[in-house]
Amino acid sequence: MCYAIPGRVSSLSDKTAIVDYFGEKRRAINELPELRIGDYIYAQGGYVIKILPSGDARDILETWKELFFNLRETDLRLSRLENIKSNRILDKALEGRILNREDLLHLLKSEDPKEIEQLCKTANFLRQKHLKNACCVHGILEFSSYCQNDCTYCGIRKSNNELPRFRMTEEEILSAVKEAVESHGFKALVLQSGEDPGYPVERLSDLILEIKQRFAVLLFVSVGEVGRPGLKKLFAAGARGLLMRFETSHPKLYEKLHPGDKLEDRLQTLRDAYDIGYLVLTGSLIGLPGQTEEDLINDILLTRELKAEMYTFGPVLPHGPRTELVLKVLALSRLIDPENAKIVVTTGFETLEKNAPRLGLLAGANSLMLNVTPLKYRKLYDIYPNRAHSEESLQSQIQGALDLLYSLGRAPTDLGI
């Protein structure tokens, strides 16, 4: 986990840098041959992305120092386990013992408001204990709503003839990236689209290479299944993360969602991505017709098995599950991977529940995604109705996220504040 403040490189070994943030040490992969011990850098997602002039870095750190420690104190206060009764299963989690399936199922099925509250508070405590108060704030740029697939749950499926389609040009994408990175301080962006034949791997690779040459930013791609050769080509161009949900761990349910496709093929794409070196962002949908509690537990465990950098679980919309079920899935994700998981509060959850960001962050989550897509296109990326932030300016999204994070004592990462 990295902060969106400069860190000072204290040691270098091969491609690994040890970075100091106010005495807190973090590891980062270094792909910049000019990096030297003593340099100040920005790092994101475990990668060094930019070297800063030492004077600029010191000025930023002087501004940040008091805020940094004040936020930490607020987070510590809000994550304390006070007035919480003993609970056999949650006590196991707090002791660092592995929860079995029966434990996880009990917590997921619980309808006891007090036990659900205990679950969320325990997850938040474990988040703070292992990952401190950093909260990832990525930007997501939706550049095309064309898709060759016909997934039954998705609003941009190819058979949806009522949807006006759009495809941004390279120039429009570069302009949107420039605004996000240079005007708003984003350090990590997701490039997302349907599986658009108009943007084949070769064209995407050229675009990613151009972005990386112009901007210091960690890039994730979310463009569906491109095969192992395609993943290699995008990685070589500069992509370092893959966002792709497996949707469900149940093979037959997956085939109903994805006519003509097989779950194993999608899982192999995720395994290939990790093998190549990608940061994997994956998870499932909550509230699918025919989905059981056992399926959801399998989804959480499969996400960990896939060595996910980020867990992303979102409700099926417009007829979504109850807010409590989504919160329980987020909290259980923290319990089964307390030391490593970055858990995102999805836009889908925000669409279901207006208080989702606060509730999710207090249930073990530590990541938000803000939509940097130009407003004239954002409403057209209609994957489900009445999507949150579809008509909200980027500046308004950022201010809302900062107000929330500061109130909870979280340090926003991926934004240069």
DSSP letter for each residue of 352-363 = H-TTHHHHHHTT
Cis status of the peptide bond prior to 318, with omega within 30 of 0: yes
| pLDDT confidence of residue 414 | 64
User: What is the average pLDDT across 362-391?
Assistant: 95
- For 150, half-sphere exposure in the C-beta direction (CA atoms, 13 angstrom radius) is 7
How many Cβ atoms from other residues are within 10 Å of residue 399's Cβ?
11
Span 148-156, average pLDDT:
92
Residues 283-294 have pLDDT tens digits of 999 999 999 999
φ/ψ of residue 280, rounded to 5: -100, 125
258 by Cβ neighbours in 10 Å (0-12 / 13-18 / 19+) ranks as buried
For residues 384-413, average pLDDT = 94
Q: Are 101 and 297 in contact (CB under 8 A)?
A: yes
DSSP state of 285: E
| Residue bearing tokens 């999608």 | 266
CA dihedral 35, 36, 38, 39 (to 10 degrees): -20
Point out which residues pair with 16 in neighbouring strands.
Answer: 13, 29
Q: What is the model's pLDDT at position 2?
A: 45
Rg (CA), the chain: 21
User: What average pLDDT score do residues 58-63 get?
Assistant: 91
Spatial distance between the Cα atoms of 25 and 46, rounded to a whole number of angstroms:
12
Share of the chain above pLDDT 70, in %: 98
Q: What proportion of the chain, given as a percentage, has pLDDT over 90? A: 89
| pLDDT on residue 107 | 98
The pLDDT value recorded for residue 205 is 98
Q: Which pLDDT score is estimated for 3? A: 54
pLDDT of residue 417 exceeding 80:
no
Q: How far apart are CA 372 and CA 137, in angstroms?
A: 12
What the chain holds in terms of domains, given with CATH numbers, is 7-69 (2.30.30.140), 115-413 (3.20.20.70)
Residues 84-102 have pLDDT tens digits of: 788 999 999 999 999 999 9
Per-residue tokens: 259: 């006519």
Q: Are 364 and 408 in contact (CB under 8 A)?
A: no
Element (H, E) at 42: strand 40-44
Task: Look at residue 326 and give its three-state secondary structure.
Answer: helix
pLDDT digits (tens, 9 = 90+) for 174-188: 999 999 999 999 999
Assign residue 14 a region (left: φ > 0; alpha: ψ between -120 and 50; beta: otherwise). left
Average pLDDT over the chain, rounded to whole? 94
User: What is each CA distance from 97 to 4, 121, 145, in whole angstroms?
Assistant: 33, 17, 45
More confident residue, 204 or 152: 204
Helix (H, G, I), strand (E, B) or coil at 8: strand
What integer is the mean pLDDT of 118-132? 96
